[in-house]
Amino acid sequence: MIRVCLALLGAIWLATGAVAQDAGGQGFGALARLDAAASGITGTRSSVKIDLALSQGVPYRVFTLEDPARAVLDFREVNWADVVGNALNKTDNVTDVRVGGFRPGWSRMVVDLAGPFALQSADMRVDETTGVAALRVQLTRVDEAEFAARSGLPASPAWDVLPEGEGTGARPARQDGAPLVIVLDPGHGGIDPGAESGAVVEKDLMLSFARQLKEVLLRAGGVEVTLTREDDSFVSLERRVAIAHRAGADVFLSLHADSLGEGTARGATVYSLSADASDAASAALAERHNRADLLAGLDLTGTDDIVADILMDLARMETQPRADMLARALVLGIKEMGMPLNKRPLRGASFSVLKSPDIPSILLELGFISDGRDLDNLADPKWRDQMAVAISDGIKAWLIADAAAAELVRQ
């Protein structure tokens, strides 16, 4: 770690439309089971019909999305145990069906459509005697323009963001000696498995590694660590960033393990937000409705896009060099530990989770599960522990260099 610190300090000196239902409003329990034998997805030339038999009624919502065309069914909550989603499919109008956890307390079914089928109706009938529920969703073929007009996320502002007021207040500057607040972001989760290789799934590997890394960081001392997900739940990209703001994060580290269908690649890769993506990121962020979550300490609600753009660019003028230094520190920490690095370990990208203008944010690809050697490493708890130590050393070295850089700025 000493060599990492020296290298970084040297660099400093040199650089100076939806259907939503509560299933009749009844007081249902929190968990339902799907009867796969009594459920199915069928279709005709001009329609798709989704029939789901549930052990009880649950609140749900249904909507469609485009690019690619798909129907989304959210439930509170269905247990998909032993259900292979695509086994329900009995029509060529549907190309794939995926089921899984979506967020704490909610589960999701995604039905990939072979064409533009718009939502026609959704109805849940509950047997008053047995409590068993039957959900029928019907979609009708329309043209592309009508499908686009009728698709989109439901108008549910609280669905994918933190409750109003959480994480939106001014965040005080970190005091000398105060714990470094680190938010670890295990990639993917729930209905989004990430990369897969046989029985190995990225979402599970990253959650396991995040837990190991948290323990290593806490043992090293001087830090507080929060995970964006603690279980196999889906967490949207927007919510991951909002969680970091709520935690008052000093560092945001997103953890992934990629897969390549063609070519060969192995070793760790560290991404920071690329410079050519910054303006586009600012423009996209400024358009979000809940602007107060975007920049801790500045409530951008009601601020026009030009002003919001300028404020976020100003924040990035300080944050991005710190993030770039953190990326270099992580690469040096991994190299010092003798862990495998990609041939081009430092890269820039416009990943959504890197776009917070006021938190140094990094995305770390630990390796490629499409590579046999990387896959063996990622599956080895001892290897993961060594990688966690390397990352911890890199963060500690960055903290020292970051403090030195701040002192130079003050001077």
Angle at 48 between CA 45 and CA 49, to 5 degrees: 135
Predicted confidence at residue 275, as pLDDT, reads 54
Predicted confidence at residue 374, as pLDDT, reads 93
Query: Which CATH number is correct for 159-410, 3.60.70.12, 3.40.50.300, 3.30.230.10, 3.40.630.40?
Result: 3.40.630.40
Q: How would DSSP label each residue in 314-349? A: HHHHHHHHHHHHHHHHHHHHHHHTT--EEEEEEEEE
Strand 117-126, strand 133-141: pairing? antiparallel
Choose among 254, 255, 247: nearest CA to 174: 247
Check residue 173 and report its DSSP letter. Answer: P
Q: Please answer whether residues 93 and 46 qualify as being in contact, where contact means their C-beta atoms are separated by less than 8 angstroms.
A: no
Predicted confidence at residue 169, as pLDDT, reads 42
Predicted confidence at residue 167, as pLDDT, reads 43
Q: Kindly report the pTM of this predicted structure.
A: 0.65
Question: Which amino acid belongs to residue 39?
Answer: S
Report mean pLDDT in 10-residue bins for the chain, 411 residues: 54 50 46 89 95 90 90 86 82 92 78 95 88 94 95 64 43 70 92 84 94 95 94 83 89 89 77 58 32 35 47 60 93 95 86 79 91 92 95 94 71 49
- Non-local (6+) Cβ contacts of 392 within 8 A are 213, 216, 217, 220, 333
CATH topology of domain 20-150: Immunoglobulin-like (2.60.40)
Q: Do domains 20-150 and 159-410 have the same CATH topology?
A: no
Domain boundaries, the chain: 20-150, 159-410
Residue with tokens 């959650």: 207
